[in-house]
Amino acid sequence: MAFSVSSRAAFLLLVALLSLFQISLAADSQYVQAVNANGDTIYLKDSRKPALYTGNFGDCLGSSNINVTRFDAAYYKDNMTVLFHLEGNTALKNESVMLYIGVFAYGESRFDLTFNPCNANIESLCPMEAGTTIEAGGIIPIAQSDVANIPAIALTIPDFEGEAILRVFANSTQTEIGCFSAVVTNGATFSQPESVGSVLGIFTVIAVISSFATAAYGDNVPVMRKHYAHSMSVLVVFAVFHHIYFTGALSMNWPSVLVAFWSNYAWAGGMIYTETMQNSINHFIGSNRGNTSHVGAAGSGVLNPDLGGGYDIHQIYKRMTPTHKGALNIPGLMRRSKFNLVARHLEESISKRELANSSDGFNYYGNPVLPGLPLPGNFSGFAGTLGEESIPASNAFMTGFLWFLILIAIVAASVAGFKWILEGLSLIKLLKKERLSFFRAHWLGYTAFAVLRTLFIGFFMMIFLTLFQFTYMGSGGVIGVAAIVFIIMFVGMFGVAGYACFYRIKFGKFQSTPDRINMERSKVLKVIPWYRFTRASEHLNDEEKVYAGSIPWYKVSPLSGEVTDSIHDDENYTKKFGWLASRFRRTRWWFFAVWLVYEFVRACFYAGASGHPMTQVFGLLVVEFLAFVAIILLRPFEGQRLNAIVVYALGFSKVATVALSAAFDIRFNLARIPTTAIGIVIIVIQGILTIILLVAIVVGAISSYFSVMRNHEEIKPKKWIPLRERYFKHLDQTVKDVPPPPRPPTPVPEEPKGPYFSVNSIKRVAKIEDEDKDFLAEIGGDPNESHISLATMGKIEEGTEVPPPTRASRAASVRSHASFTSLPYGARVHRASWSSRDFNEWNNERRRTANSTAPLVPEGESRRASGNIGSNARFANSRESITRGSPLATPEDNDIISPMSRPKSRAPTSTPASPYRPPLKTLVSENEVPSLPSQTHSQ
């Protein structure tokens, strides 16, 4: 209970302290009295944020007779008022003026007011005197109809695109003597360099560390190169950042959202504002700041008569009648109802002290822009993009060059400092002496190559800035420095790249032979004419190709005709030129030279054609599209992540951004709201590209951790160990630069094997033989019919018995030589065809048989009759064959064998001959083979 009471007392004490603190804050707050739209008196904090307010401002006349040091205006939605302040001085004496205030949003006029400052109690302007400080301010109540044209989204959309213009006219001459333009904003913006730029910088540092770690860890150069090639490339990181930021170098009238978004990447392009550096550059440049309008921007301090649509002096000064000397009566000059409301409100509701207090408490205002900057609210060309960073276009080259030198010094000092930190840790026994021994022994080489790599990464940026300085002109000293830097970067980098290629061809196992690039005519979809480039060496015997022309080229090939080794296995070459070629594939090691040419061409279009938007856009569109297609075909990087970013994401973003940027050309006069929508689309594309890059940096840091821990059996967390093993297998496969082996086919359950085909049923067509009873009996398997000789049937009279079949005494293997047929074993022989001659001979034979009393058929006749039976005839359901003997064979060889009978004599039996099977004779049996004499007669 005691604890409960003490807790409650402490809580009440805390509430009391907070209440007192709130009361003290309320006492310190400044309030202003105002009248809302309903006419009620209300009190509002003077420090509240307005719905819309102005920022920095600049001179839009160029020769203003008024020096304005402060100009701001704000629109408060809560009480429907517009507050404005004006401070400055002039050299004019006794000059009455008229003031015009116009507010523009997205290229259209949203609010305007013309009034006489004398009727608004602005004494410092009534009249305007030399030596008298101009202090003007007012709170103008407005009606709902006055802001009806301002959409509600304009109060919340990021980077509201608007401007407020103050024009001062002299009544004596009825001319404009002062013009000042300020940007109008709602406070919401995509420009967050403190947060977004810092996050991007942190990720870049992670990429640098992970890349350097893979290059420094280890002692086997080929293995170190392999792991380095798959880490995150700092070149790719800055290629993405440079693409995004330097898109603003196109001479287009950019929407405010794009310029604000690009300001987050300004640090990557060397555009970092520091007042000390800019003052030093201004002192070196002098007063010659170049021509901002030459690069498409409306410069501050330059005459801009068409700003805000211009003005019509006749609408400001109508027919007037003089009333007294030195004064003008301007009836109908202004909207009287609105002006009288303003004057009455200023006189009755707010005293001069209250107005001064509100002026002092107002914290939302801008400052005059520096010389050389474009007008606030104008974002045309590279000058408009630099204006977001408050860096004049004349200072762009020197700013980038100085920061680039600082970066090189930081890189060199970091590598050297890392070496000495390792030595110090080794001395105090916190680091083993053998750790990073290769790096510690070659730290000078690492330092030199880190500097060269930095020059390679910054090649596009420095070439662009030097060419931009040549286009923008300026003082002679700056142009001289730019020329020296251009020569060093151009000659130096291309010289080193050329020497790297020459060294490989000269001292490697390669040769360079002449070749040609042919422009081959073809058709797409068999209708659309098309051209493609092919090497002449690849189509030596192709005479059907049609070529439109060719250019000389060369071909680098191995001396032996086959690639026997990899460039990455050459330790000497890797130590010399690994900072150029180590990240590229074995067959694309020369891509660094192509990359330099590509970046140089891009820089020429961005900077050399500055001020010519159509040349820039369409030239870059062709270059980026060709590069996109070529890099897709080449896929130069060994690491798949780098190919995914450079080949697909970065290439698509470049083509899409340049194509969409064409809509921002002023000659198309596209409305600013659709222009802003297109700008949002570009932000989405480049934002997605940035997200992909950040994800790749994180993945690259993890893979670099795997590489550094490759000699450890276990890593933390342990669940990453299988992932590391798969990553190492992937490295071993990609380093070969050959297509991966095909995946094994998915195992299919083995089905039971069966015959290739099966016959389910056969339908037999009736034949003539079906009417022959002997044939039917034979094919039906009747043994009494299948073994009877035709000759026996013809020789035996009707009614006598046919002797039973006998079996030869010799084995079947010995008798098998009597077969003279090519039919396979088991084939059935069809019976011989009968002709009319056969029937005649059969009748004659019957007559002779009737006259004969011999009970047996002679062996010769038996032989002749049996010769008509087909060779290798088989009995039904039997493995034995009826063999046809040779005409010259012995009687024993021509016996008819029954598989079911035993050897018997050839004596006749009582079985009668079949009347349906007449004996047949052949020409051989009657004419060529004589009958053999019987043994009885010979004896």
Q: State the pLDDT confidence band at 334, using cuts at 50, 70 and 90.
A: very low
Give the closest residue to 794 by CA, choosing from 834, 839, 830, 836: 839
Q: State the pLDDT confidence band at 696, using cuts at 50, 70 and 90.
A: very high
Highest mean pLDDT (candidates 355-359, 387-391, 494-498, 911-915): 494-498
Q: Is the dihedral of CA 231, 234, 237, 239 positive or negative?
A: negative
For the stretch 727-765, pLDDT in tens is: 999 898 888 877 777 777 777 776 666 666 667 777 777
Highest mean pLDDT (candidates 180-189, 530-539, 801-810): 180-189
Domains, the chain, ranges and CATH? Answer: 31-188+305-320+340-374 (2.60.40.770)
Ranges of beta strands (E only) in 382-501 are none
Provide the CB-side half-sphere exposure for 107 (13 A, CA). Answer: 14
Two structure tokens written together for 595: 């990359």
The reported pLDDT for the residue numbered 318 is: 67
- Write down the pTM of the prediction: 0.71
Answer yes or no: is pLDDT of 818 > 50. Answer: no
For the stretch 212-253, pLDDT in tens is: 999 999 889 999 999 999 999 999 999 999 999 999 999 999
For the stretch 139-187, pLDDT in tens is: 777 777 777 777 777 788 898 888 888 888 888 888 888 888 899 888 8
Give me the percent of the chain exceeding a pLDDT of 70: 71
Give ∠ CA 154-157-159 in degrees, rounded to 5: 100
- Structural contact between residues 816 and 880, judged by C-beta atoms closer than 8 angstroms: no
Q: Is 43 helix (H, G, I), strand (E, B) or coil?
A: strand
Count of other CB atoms within 10 angstroms of residue 303: 15
Give the closest residue to 723 by CA, choosing from 731, 499, 473, 593: 731
- Among the residue ranges 172-181, 680-689, 829-838, 912-921, the one predicted with the least confidence is 912-921
Pairing status of strand 547-558 against strand 873-874: unpaired
DSSP letter, residue 195: I
Q: State the pLDDT confidence band at 493, using cuts at 50, 70 and 90.
A: very high
Give me the percent of the chain exceeding a pLDDT of 90: 30
DSSP for 221-261, written as a single string: HHHHHHHHHTSPPHHHHHHHHHHHHGGGGSSSB--HHHHHH
